[in-house]
Chains A and B, each alone.
Chain A
Amino acid sequence: MGHVISAFWKGITYKGGPGHYAFILHRLTGIGVALFLILHILDNFIIMFGEEAFAEVLNLYANPVMRLLEVFLIFSVIYHAFNGLRVIIVDFWAPSSHVQRTLWILVWIVVIPLSLIAAWFTLAPIFGLR
Chain B
Amino acid sequence: MAKVNVTVKILRFNPDVDEQPHWQTYEVKDIEETAQVLDVLHRIKWYQDGTLTLRSSCAHGVCGSDAMVINGHNRLACKTLVRDVMPTITVEPIRGLPVIKDLVVDMEPFFSHYKAVEPWFINPDPPPTRERLQSPEDRARFDDTTKCILCAACTTSCPSFWANGQYVGPAAIVQAHRWIFDSRDKGTAERLQILNDRFGVWACRTAFNCVEACPREIDITKAIGEVKKALTFGTVDF
Interface set of A (CB-CB < 8 Å, partner B): 4, 6-7, 10-11, 13-20, 22-24, 87, 90-95, 97-98, 100
Contacts and interface: CB of A to CB of B under 8 A. Distances in A.
A100 B95 contact: no
A17 B72 CA distance: 12
Given A20-B208, A91-B206, A100-B208, A14 B225 contact: no
Contacts of B212: 16-17, 19-20
A90 B225 contact: yes
The main secondary structure of chain B at its interface with chain A is: helix
Q: Which 3 A-B pairs have the closest CB atoms?
A: A19-B208, A15-B72, A23-B207
B232 interface: yes
The main secondary structure of chain A at its interface with chain B is: helix
B209 A20 contact: yes
Contacts of A97: 208, 211, 219, 221-222, 225
B155 interface: no
A11 B159 contact: yes
Contact of A87 (B159, B206, B229): B206
Interface string B171-215: 000000000000000000000000000000000011111011000
B226 A94 contact: yes
Nearest to A94: B225
B93 to A, nearest CB: 12
A87 B224 CA distance: 13
Interface in B41-73: 69, 71-73
B96 interface: yes
Contact of A16 (B207, B219, B228): B207
